[in-house]
Amino acid sequence: MAGEDMSAEARGMADTVARRSYGKLVAFLAASTRDVAAAEDAVADAFAAALAQWPGRGCPANPEAWLVTVARSKIIDEARRRRIGEVSADHLQIIAEGLESAAASGEIPDRRLALLFAVAHPAVDPAISAPLMLQAVLGFDARMIASAFLTSPEAMAKRLVRAKAKIKQAGIPFSVPDRDELPGRLDAVLSAIYAVFAEGWADPTGVDVARRGFTGEALFLARLVVELMAGDPEALGLLALMLYAEARRPARRSASGAFVPLSQQNIKMWDASMINEAETLLHRASTAGAFGRYQLEAALQSAHVHRCLTGTHNWAHVVSLYDALLEVSGSPVVRLNRALAVAETQGPHAALAEIEALSTDPRMAEYQPYWAARAELLGKIGAYREARQCYDVGIGLERDGAVRRFLHRRQCALPE
Amino acid sequence: MQYLLMIYSKEGAWERMSPTEQQQGMAAYGAFTEALKMSRVLIGSNRLRPASTATTVRVANGKSQVLDGPYADTKEQLGGYYLIDVADLDAALAWAARCPGASHGIVEVRPVWSTAG
């Protein structure tokens, strides 16, 4: 009986440490060796050793230090075994000493920010940065990441391996960039975090096992960057933006699973504490006086929330925020959303004129919200036949069944 | 780590430049090379003759095949290189950006497969 208790306790402890420390351990080992794959392997081996040894011998007083010591010897053994001219003896000695001193002091320096900057380095394919973060910092396996990003596990595993090899062989540094390079490099880190969030956001009800928790993990990463970057305004903006969105998650679907558009959501189902936190963060960011994309997007979220809560017609303010956002991003998606705000201030004809410029943009051809917006506006000016056609395209492009059904209902509600 | 900075640029552009422009171009490369030397990162560098002087060799079935012309018949050709020794990729990229070749062409940065150890 006592043995079982001890075993359960050890397993529980290993789980807790894994959740809290996985990324920290990988980051520390990877930053010392520039080898993300070897660091991941060593940390996985160390956790396996913990599960094997802790139940019998009891949990160590400092589990993190214990794990680092085990992982460190794994890395050094492996490097010695495979020493085929890639790591010199001197280099090995330096690595060993660096890892030694950290293990001995029991204090593991937090190098997660350095790891984030390495995986979001411009020399790494930007499309793989978000999956790489999920794997190296959060410990998701390739199968789960592949399923969330709609690719085969083999293809995803191959791309992750290739990115890690590039980081190691090209000598991508594990460090926070200099001040003059920081804005662009930080933007890459933030946009990878936002990509993680967007993957989770695509599963509104949280039923998709592969995506469950991705929004929470993105919030965790953003909090980490805010903490480690001492309140950078854009990092604060991204965290606020994601909190505004996450706060509305429970209201995005009705009890029967139907899609509920923002204007019809039950505001009592919104998470008030998340919205309050987002407002506070956004205010804190604004005092820095350096506006960027994420702060503007968060300000837009704030405006939408404010309108729904108070019933104030603030569309002119929304249009001006989109104008500012268009200046920094120039994205066709921003232009589209701006047009929808224009529809509220100047009517559907003006909005249609605004999105006319987008009709030749190849990025819009397969973008569902573009077709839905066009259909909506055409319906308002009485062009029902064209509206129906646009709904068809939008429905055909959407992968979420609830949104498809919503668009279909809107299509059926059009007069003959 | 050692990196090879390879300068790719449009063939013939140099010949079409005026003597003054050529002089300025030479001076820019000279200054860049000097800066690399002063920073003690330069291992070696060379300018290559045009791709029209290139010859390729391949041995297949015991027979060597020699062909006139470069490996890839592209508009941009390898025109020169710098071999440097710096701390990491960011340092190598910073030097690549300062290279005049990055302004009139493209600089490819490749880590050297180290055999030390």
User: How confident is the model over A294-321, as pLDDT tens digits?
Assistant: 999 999 999 999 999 998 999 999 999 9
Distance CA A153, CA A157 (A): 6
pLDDT of A10 above 90 = no
Nearest to A171 among B1, B115, B117 (CB): B1
- What's the average model confidence in pLDDT over B89-108? 93
* pLDDT value, residue B26: 92
* pLDDT value, residue A335: 94
**A179 contact B CB<8A:** no
> Contact at 8 Å (CB) between A250 and A271?
yes
> Contact at 8 Å (CB) between A343 and A335?
no
- What's the average model confidence in pLDDT over A270-297? 93
> Confidence class of residue B117 from pLDDT cuts 50, 70 and 90?
very low
The predicted-structure confidence for A62-109, as pLDDT tens digits, reads as follows 888 899 999 988 988 887 777 655 555 666 666 666 666 665 666 778
* pLDDT value, residue A44: 92
Residues 6+ apart with CB under 8 A from A58: A6, A10
Nearest to A172 among B89, B114, B115 (CB): B89
**A89 contact B CB<8A:** yes
**A177 contact B CB<8A:** yes
The nearest CA of chain B is from the CA of A84 a distance in Å of 8
Test the B interface: residue of A86, A95, A166, A176 with most B CBs within 10 Å: A86
Q: Are strands B105-111 and B76-85 parallel, antiparallel or unpaired?
A: unpaired
Distance CA A73, CA A99 (A): 9
Q: What is the CATH number of domain B2-111?
A: 3.30.70.1060
The nearest CA of chain A is from the CA of B100 a distance in Å of 20
Burial class from Cβ neighbours inside 10 Å (0-12, 13-18, 19+) for residue A308 reads middle
Where are the strands (E) in A104-198, listed by range? Answer: none
The predicted-structure confidence for B4-45, as pLDDT tens digits, reads as follows 999 999 988 888 999 999 999 999 999 999 999 999 999 999
CA distances from B76 to B8, B12, B32, B83, B101 (A): 6, 10, 21, 20, 12
Percent of chain B with pLDDT strictly greater than 70: 97
Distance CA A248, CA A270 (A): 5
As a whole number, the mean pLDDT across chain A is: 87
Distance CA A59, CA A356 (A): 65
Q: What are phi and psi of A362, to 5 degrees?
A: -60, -25
* pLDDT value, residue A228: 85
Distance CA A392, CA A371 (A): 9
* Chain B residues in contact with A170 (beta carbon < 8 A): 89, 111
CB contact under 8 A, A171 and B114: no
> Confidence class of residue A257 from pLDDT cuts 50, 70 and 90?
confident
> Confidence class of residue A32 from pLDDT cuts 50, 70 and 90?
confident
* pLDDT value, residue B114: 79
> Confidence class of residue B116 from pLDDT cuts 50, 70 and 90?
low
> Confidence class of residue B93 from pLDDT cuts 50, 70 and 90?
very high
Domain spans, chain B: 2-111
pLDDT of A29 above 60 = yes
Task: Locate A123 and state its tokens.
Answer: 């020399």
* pLDDT value, residue A1: 42
